[in-house]
Amino acid sequence: MDTTAGGASSALGPRPESHGGAPPGRRAEQRTPASLVATGGPAREGTTDVRGNVGGKAMSRLDLTRRLVAQLTHGEIVVAGIGNANFDLYAAGPRPENFYMLGSMSLAVPIALGVALAQRSRKVFAIEGDGSLLMNLGALATVAMVAPDNLTVIVWDNGAYQITGGQAAATAEATDLVAVARGAGIAQSGWARDEAEFERLVRDSLTGHGPRFIGARVNREPGAGRPERDPVLVKDRFMRGIGAKPAQPGSG
């Protein structure tokens, strides 16, 4: 079957060239000792940080989320991780195809992988924060192994555990998550250095083959919205929104 580990990647044939990001091995020279508390974002303006962001700026997570949602016109699914990822997804405008995680730090990528396998005809996006992704890097290896054609992982990287007080994450000075994703086997992995590049990478995800991984450096604005904290309601709306249950309760 084409969805098992071996078959899926071979069915896709040679993977398209990867885009963006720092070449492997580049970051060692750029590193400085990690500070205990991250301040001012993961990269200093005008420097090359571990992401290969030459003069890169920290973008607005909410603005990028809106730019993503604006491109979703065919019932694409979005699974947003705990905290600011789903706060901003909700703030960008509730959609029935959004799944809001109320807990389960680190599981946005696995959940999105499962949804992608169940809903092969829809594109699926997982949105995760850097701290959450760091908790379960193995999930990237599983995504690469299963190689779902319809899955894109987006990470908002602000180098910190923002929601718990801004403690420095390994991404602040050391870890390049795009390089991690590429090393895990997701060949189509790249940093979005600005809003236009982010929009282009999203567009590529919508038109091309997956799996893909998009990293975006973001600032530390607090998440703008709050989805209703009712897990069964979230599930029900989502499943009906994607046709996994009848559209109206009691209609099927």
Partner 1 sequence: MSDWPGTMIKCLTERGVRLVTYVPDKVLIPLIDGFQGHPGVTAFSATREEEAVGIAAGATLGGMPSAVLMQSSGFGNTPNALASLIVPYQLPVVLVISERGVLGEFNAVQVPIARVIRPALDALGIPHVTLEREDDVEFLVTRSVHQAHRTQQPAALILSPRLTGGKMEG
Q: Does 3 bind partner 1 (CB under 8 A)?
A: yes
Residue 152, strand partner residues: 125, 212
Q: What gap in Å lies between CA 20 and CA 41, rounded to an integer?
A: 21
Identify which range of 22-30, 156-164, 206-214, 233-241 contacts partner 1 by CB under 8 A. Answer: 233-241
Where do the DSSP E strands lie in 29-150? 77-80, 98-100, 124-129
User: Taking CB under 8 A as the rule, which mask of x and - marks residues 146-175 in contact with partner 1?
Assistant: x-----------------------------
Helix (H, G, I), strand (E, B) or coil at 202: helix
CA–CA dist 99, 79 (Å, integer) = 5
Of the candidates 72, 116, 169, 216, which one interacts with partner 1 according to CB under 8 A?
A: 116
How many beta carbons lie within 10 A of that of residue 40, not counting itself?
11
Structure tokens at 181: 């994703």
| CA–CA dist 8, 21 (Å, integer) | 25
Residues 126-145 that bind partner 1 (CB under 8 A): 136, 138-139, 141-142, 145
Q: How far is the CB of 122 from partner 1 (least distance, A)?
A: 9
Nearer to partner 1, 208 or 231 (CB): 231
If the CB atoms of residues 30 and 136 are measured against partner 1, the closer one turns out to be 136
The footprint of partner 1 (CB under 8 A) covers 1, 3-5, 79, 99, 101-107, 109-119, 136, 138-139, 141-142, 145-146, 231-232, 234-235, 238-239, 242-245
